[in-house]
């Protein structure tokens, strides 16, 4: 039975090795912040961190995760995550909110790697995260604002 470490907690899951991590997180572990959008790593709604790196959980399989630390939106913590969430709330970035778990994690990853991203940096880092409400204008502004607050 595969073992998953999610948000610092070990879970034994009754799942075949080829089960996508997305469905293990949602249906077996019961954390629903990670969203299903496409199943093909095309939209980014299912983004999680694997050992800190943003990854698509719909194309990650539970059999490949021995010793890997999985962080979902529920477990994302720290100064960068808190700042991004606060900015997202202050600027009312989300509309429907469905893609925002993925957007927030992608933004946290970008700001962790690149504390002062340019518009081009943002476009490159965030292009895999689709938002059908097209909140892109505010995502861009939100990342710049978060960078400003983190620098201060």
Partner 1 sequence: MLPRIIEHLAPAASVKTSRRAFLVASAAAAGAFVIGFGAVPARAAGGAAVSAAPAPFDAYIRIAADGSVTILSSQFDMGQGSYHGLATLVNEELGAAWDHITVEGATGDLKAYGNIAWGGAVQGTGGSSSMTTSFDRYRQAGAAARMMLIDAAAKDWGVSAAEISVKDGRLTHASGKSAGFGDMAAKAAQMPVPKDVALKARQDWTLIGNGDLRRYDSRAKTDGTHPFTIDVKLPGMLTAVMIHPPKFGAVVKSFDAAKAKAMKGVVDVVATPRGVAVVGEHMWAALAARDAVTVTWDESKAETRGSAAILAEYEKQAAGKPQAAARNDGDADKAMADAAKTVEATFRFPYLAHAAMEPLNAVARMNKDGSLEIWGGHQIPGIYQGIAAGIAGIKPEQVVLHIMKTGGGFGRRATPDGDVVAEAVMVAKAIGYKAPVKVQWTRENDMRGGRYRPAYVHRLKAGIDASGKLVAWDHHIVGQSIVAGTPFQGLIQNGIDQTSVEGASNLPYAVPNLHVGLTTTEVGVPPLWWRAVGSTHTAYATEVFLDQAAAAAGVDPLAFRLAMLTGHPRHAAVLKLAAEKAGWGKKLPQGRFMGLAVHESFHTYVAHVAEVSVKDGEVRVHRVVAAVDCGTVVNPDVVKAQIEGGTGFGLGAILAEELTLGADGTVEQGNYDTYTPLRISAMPKMEVHIVASNAPPTGVGEPGVPSIGPAVANAVARATGKWITTLPLTRGMQS
- Catalog residues that contact partner 1 under the rule CB under 8 A: 15-16, 18-20, 23-24, 26-28, 30-40, 42-43, 45, 72-74, 84-85, 88-90, 92-101, 104, 122-124, 126-127, 129-140
- Could you give phi then psi for residue 9, rounded to 5 degrees? -115, 135
Q: Least CB distance from residue 98 to partner 1, whole Å?
A: 3
Cβ closer to partner 1: 140 or 149?
A: 140
Cβ closer to partner 1: 53 or 89?
A: 89
Please name every residue paired with 6 in a beta bridge, in sequence order, or none if there are none: 9, 70
What whole-number distance in Å separates Cα of residue 81 and Cα of residue 98?
18
Whole-number Cα distances in Å, 67 to 2, 58, 77, 134: 11, 19, 20, 37
What whole-number distance in Å separates Cα of residue 129 and Cα of residue 47?
9
Q: Least CB distance from residue 129 to partner 1, whole Å?
A: 7
Cβ closer to partner 1: 39 or 68?
A: 39
CB atoms within 10 A of CB 50: 17
Q: Least CB distance from residue 14 to partner 1, whole Å?
A: 9
Q: Least CB distance from residue 10 to partner 1, whole Å?
A: 20
Q: Least CB distance from residue 148 to partner 1, whole Å?
A: 18
Handedness of CA 92, 27, 65, 20 (dihedral sign): negative
From 97, 95, 94, 104, select the one nearest 146 (Cα to Cα). 104
Cβ closer to partner 1: 19 or 50?
A: 19
Cβ closer to partner 1: 51 or 90?
A: 90
């Amino acid at each position: 039975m595969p073992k998953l470490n999610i948000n610092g907690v070990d879970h034994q899951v009754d799942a075949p090795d080829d089960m996508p991590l997305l469905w293990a997180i949602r249906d077996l572990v019961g954390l629903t912040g990670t969203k299903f959008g496409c199943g093909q790593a095309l939209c980014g709604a299912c983004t999680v961190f694997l050992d800190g790196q943003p990854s698509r959980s719909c194309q990650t399989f539970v059999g490949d995760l021995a010793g890997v630390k999985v962080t979902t939106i529920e477990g994302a913590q720290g100064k960068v995550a808190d700042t991004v969430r606060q900015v997202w709330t202050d600027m009312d970035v989300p509309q429907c909110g469905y893609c925002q778990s993925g957007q927030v994690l992608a933004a946290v990853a970008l700001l962790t790697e690149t504390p002062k991203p340019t518009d081009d940096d943002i476009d490159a880092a965030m292009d895999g995260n689709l938002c059908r409400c097209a909140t892109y204008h505010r995502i861009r502004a939100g990342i710049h604002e978060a960078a400003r607050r983190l620098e201060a």
